[in-house]
Chain A
Amino acid sequence: QQQVRQSPQSLTVWEGETAILNCSYEDSTFNYFPWYQQFPGEGPALLISIRSVSDKKEDGRFTIFFNKREKKLSLHITDSQPGDSATYFCAASEGTNSAGNKLTFGIGTRVLVRP
């Protein structure tokens, strides 16, 4: 049973469009939600994160929208560039409240940006 769900599994957009990646979770104790970006042949790297006390977090072209009541969040990539083509993982944890601060990852969304 997946605690963190992502959709779609893959997404293709044209350069300049906005890509929208969705994520939902089940555990109401989760309070920290990072998104990791992974390029082929590399390990994931932190892209942007949000805590449950906020409903929006922006970093350049990347924005997280968070809805605590519905246990949903989304990552918006505006003005998508070919270099954004990667797999994006939504993750969740109880933050420093949990032993080991273990992150639970979704299955990822593969994004392809066509020039």
Chain B
Amino acid sequence: EAAVTQSPRSKVAVTGGKVTLSCHQTNNHDYMYWYRQDTGHGLRLIHYSYVADSTEKGDIPDGYKASRPSQENFSLILELASLSQTAVYFCASRKTGGAFAETLYFGSGTRLTVL
């Protein structure tokens, strides 16, 4: 029944390699977000999108790209992974308008370790 599904659940990458994290939602929501979670920093917004084929920068976009090929799918791309990008990454969706329009619905996260 999970409405926001992230893959993979965990990944080990090498420094300098390319990493793609995927997110799929069945909520029929317009907005999708990528956050990273680090101890001592909470959740920080990387990129977000409110429509397919369009993405916006969040608060910490450096070193990350995002892609929204369809309403349901939102990817986070690390072209050259670095040690500092070791973290847990969360995808979330949000609907536009109506009741609970400000509620984020999160996936279960992807734990990324860069060695």
Q: Do A and B bind each other?
A: yes
- B-contacting residues of A (Cβ < 8 Å)? 4, 6, 32, 34, 36, 41-46, 49, 89, 93, 95-96, 99-108
Point out the residues of chain B lying under 8 angstroms from A96, CB to CB: 101-102
* B109–A43 touching, CB < 8 Å: yes
> Judging by beta carbons under 8 Å apart, are A105 and B102 in contact?
no
A selection of 20 A-B contacts at a CB cut-off of 8 Å is: A34-B103, A41-B108, A42-B109, A43-B90, A43-B108, A44-B43, A44-B104, A46-B103, A46-B104, A100-B31, A100-B48, A100-B50, A101-B94, A101-B101, A102-B45, A102-B48, A102-B58, A105-B35, A105-B42, A107-B40
- Most chain B beta-carbon contacts within 10 A, residue among A43, A89, A102, A104: A43
Residues in B lying within 8 Å of A, measured CB to CB? 4, 31, 35, 40-45, 48, 50, 56, 58-59, 90, 92, 94, 101-104, 106-109
Q: Is the CB of A101 within 8 A of B108?
A: no
Cβ-defined contact, B101 with A106, below 8 A: no
Instruction: Report how far A104 CA is from B44 CA in the complex, Å.
Output: 7
Report the separation of the CA atoms of residues A84 and B26 in the bound assembly, to the nearest whole angstrom.
28
Q: Inside 8 A of B90's CB, which chain A residues have their CB?
A: 43-44
Whether A49 pairs with B108 at a CB distance below 8 angstroms is no
Residue pair A44, B41 in contact (C-beta under 8 Å): no
Which residues of chain A come closer than 8 Å to B43, judged between CB atoms?
A: 44, 89, 105
